[in-house]
Each structure stands twice: as structure tokens, then as C-alpha cells.
Chains A and B, each alone.
Chain A
């Protein structure tokens, strides 16, 4: 079965510092991986996805994610965090058998001024 894991419930980082939000996956076949962000009382906003090609995927708001096949990881990164990046981040994988998105448990990012 396809799954993703987000090992950190919360990540704290100072504004201006680089940030990483971790995600590991378990799939059979090629992984289709996604990152979404959720602000309070809002739906999910699409940040980026990996389907194939370059391992470094660039997305919205300066975010990027690195696909690492050997480590089965798809960590979300940003070189310089902003206070406005504080939100809940979800990693997801598309189950190729059911064509459904499977979400991780989410990681709350807190950026301190």
C-alpha cells in the first residue's frame, strides 16, 4: 500500500533561516508526490509536485522539494523562512491503484521573528 510519513509534528525556525519539512514515502512503482500548505480555517493550497525528471522541484512561494529515491524521501525546503510561511504542511502521494491522494499527518511550521 502507498503511504507517506511526516515524522515531525512541528518544526520551529527563525525568520531568515533555511527550513526543511520532512516527508518519506512508501510506494510500489513510480511515486507521484505532492506538497500542500494549509493556513488556519482554509483549504489546502498546492505547492509543488514530483512526477518525473529533475530531483529538485521548484514550487510556489519560494519552496522547493528534493526527491531522493534511495532514501525514499521528498523533503520540502526553503532557503529563507518568512513568518508568513507559518502554516500546516501536508505531504501526499497518489495511490496508483486507486488514483486517490494519500496524505501524511501534517507538520506545523512555526517561523519566529
Chain B
């Protein structure tokens, strides 16, 4: 099946620093990529949807200036957590949908990135 990778798999940083997470679709081109956040023992919360070459669409309540998303190519999207604070600590998961997407196309998920802000 389609493979989505994320890097890094975990990161620990100091409060106030910025962290960049990469999401790559390894064997397919992704028209659309999604970024989710998951708190312990909870479901996934969609943060934003990004389309290649255009600005990301953020969900209500998600600060676009804090969570910068760039979808530079059909295989790469990045999420930058700017000026991270302890409350940003979470598990971040990206997802990609194959090009020529229709409502029936499957989303494939990356392995996730565990962010811990000290």
C-alpha cells in the first residue's frame, strides 16, 4: 500500500523554539495532505488541510501563525510549530491522499511525531 513517512519521529525542544515536522508520500503523489493532532487516549483532531501550491486551510481554533504549514510539492508537506510551549506537546500525525482524489480515495497516515516541549 501507499507509504507516508514523517520526520522526526520524536523531538524534545525548549520552550520558545520552533520545530519543523516533515511529511512525505514515498510512492505516490498527494494532492492533499492533512495534519492531525492527537492527545493521549483521544481521537485525532484535524488541524489543517494543505493542497500543493496553495495555502493551507485551518480548522476553527487552530492558530495559523503558530502552526505553519507548507505544501511545497506533491510529495512533501511540512508543519512548523513556532515558539513552542509545553501545551503544544502532543502527537502530530500527517496524512496524504492520492492525486486524482475523489471522495472514495483512501487517506494514508504517517507514523506520527511525538513533540515534547520543556
Residues of A at under 8 Å CB distance from B? 32, 34, 36, 41-46, 49, 51, 90, 94, 96, 99-101, 103-106
The answer to whether A46 and B1 touch (CB under 8 A), given A90-B43, A90-B44, A103-B43, is yes
Question: What are 18 inter-chain pairs, A to B, with CB distance below 8 A?
Answer: A34-B106, A41-B91, A42-B111, A43-B93, A43-B109, A43-B110, A43-B111, A44-B44, A44-B109, A45-B109, A90-B43, A94-B104, A99-B101, A100-B34, A100-B49, A101-B46, A101-B107, A104-B43
Cα(A100)–Cα(B6), bound, Å: 21
Q: Which residues of A contact B109 (CB under 8 A)?
A: 36, 43-46
Cα(A46)–Cα(B114), bound, Å: 20
* Count class of interface residues, chain B: 20 to 34
Q: Are A44 and B43 in contact (CB under 8 A)?
A: no
Q: Are B103 and A32 in contact (CB under 8 A)?
A: yes
Closest chain A residue to B5, Cβ basis: A43
Cα(A94)–Cα(B109), bound, Å: 15
Q: List which B37-86 residues lie within 8 A (CB) of chain A.
A: 42-44, 46, 49
Please classify the interface of chain B as helix (H, G, I), strand (E, B), loop, or mixed, using the class held by over half of its residues. Answer: strand
Q: Which residues of B contact A100 (CB under 8 A)?
A: 34, 46, 49
Pick the residue among A34, A94, A96, A105 that contacts B43 (CB under 8 A).
Answer: A105
Cα(A34)–Cα(B112), bound, Å: 19
Q: Is B4 an interface residue (CB 8 A)?
A: yes
Closest chain B residue to A52, Cβ basis: B104
1/0 per residue, CB under 8 A from A, across B23-44: the answer is 0000000000010000000111
Q: Which residues of A contact B46 (CB under 8 A)?
A: 100-101
Q: List which B84-112 residues lie within 8 A (CB) of chain A.
A: 91, 93-95, 101, 103-104, 106-112
The answer to whether A32 and B6 touch (CB under 8 A), given A41-B112, A42-B112, A46-B1, is no
Given A49-B104, A106-B42, 13 additional A-B pairs, CB 8 A = A34-B107, A43-B93, A43-B109, A44-B109, A46-B106, A90-B43, A90-B44, A96-B103, A99-B101, A100-B49, A101-B34, A101-B107, A103-B44
